Amino acid sequence: MEPKLGRRDMLKTAGVLGAASALTILNGAEAGAANAQADDGTDDALLGVWLVKVSSVTYPGQVYNYFYSFARGGYVATGDVDENNFDQKASPTMGVYVRAGRRTVRYREKGWIYDLSGKNTGTSDAVGTFTLDRSGKMITGPGVYNQYDLQGKLSYGPEQLDVTGTKIVV
């Protein structure tokens, strides 16, 4: 025979169930808000090809033009300074990005540096953020560029950059 629950026991049980239900609802609301931020359209809006202007803050007047091709989580960039810039060549670069906030991603971009005869002399590294405007057709953001020799020692930089890009639409 099961013991009978008194009024006090029934109220305790109802209170525990009510609190558990409230927590479940709140956790669901938090998860929904996190998913909404994670799915704010930034990833899809970045996909495609962009014409990007990189302006040096450190050396005003130096402007570099690039094409960035974004895929989900990464990108490839090639620019108009890759062939002969200050007596060196640069490879196209590869970049990765992760969400940093609403319509904002953090990025890291790496490439190879060569002398004019084609001998590898080191690597390039750029880090910063891209913020996507509400239209999904423009990115902006700051960045920092450095170069390293083959032993990993800083050989150039840091150079502060401003990035502005416009999506190329079909």
pLDDT at site 122? 97
pLDDT at site 86? 75
Indicate whether 1 pLDDT > 70.
Answer: no
Of 68 and 8, which is predicted with more confidence?
68
State the CB neighbour count (10 A cutoff) for residue 97: 21
**What's the fold here for domain 42-167?**
Lipocalin (2.40.128)
pLDDT at site 35? 44
Indicate whether 20 pLDDT > 50.
Answer: no
Domain map (residue ranges) of the chain: 1-39, 42-167
- The values of phi and psi at residue 12, to 5°, are -60, -45
pLDDT at site 6? 58
pLDDT at site 24? 42
Residue 155 CA to residue 149 CA, distance in Å, equals 6
Instruction: Specify the residue for token string 């639409």.
Output: 169
Q: What mean pLDDT do residues 117-136 have?
A: 95
- pLDDT tens digits, 68-124: 999 988 999 988 876 667 788 999 999 999 999 999 999 999 999 999 999 999 999
Distances (CA, A) of 167 to 10, 58, 66, 68, 156: 63, 26, 12, 9, 30
Position 25 confidence tier, pLDDT thresholds 50, 70, 90: very low
Indicate whether 31 pLDDT > 50.
Answer: no
pLDDT at site 66? 94
Indicate whether 41 pLDDT > 90.
Answer: no
Of 168 and 81, which is predicted with more confidence?
168
pLDDT at site 112? 96
Residue 15 CA to residue 127 CA, distance in Å, equals 52
Helix, strand, coil % (nearest 5) of the chain?
20, 50, 25
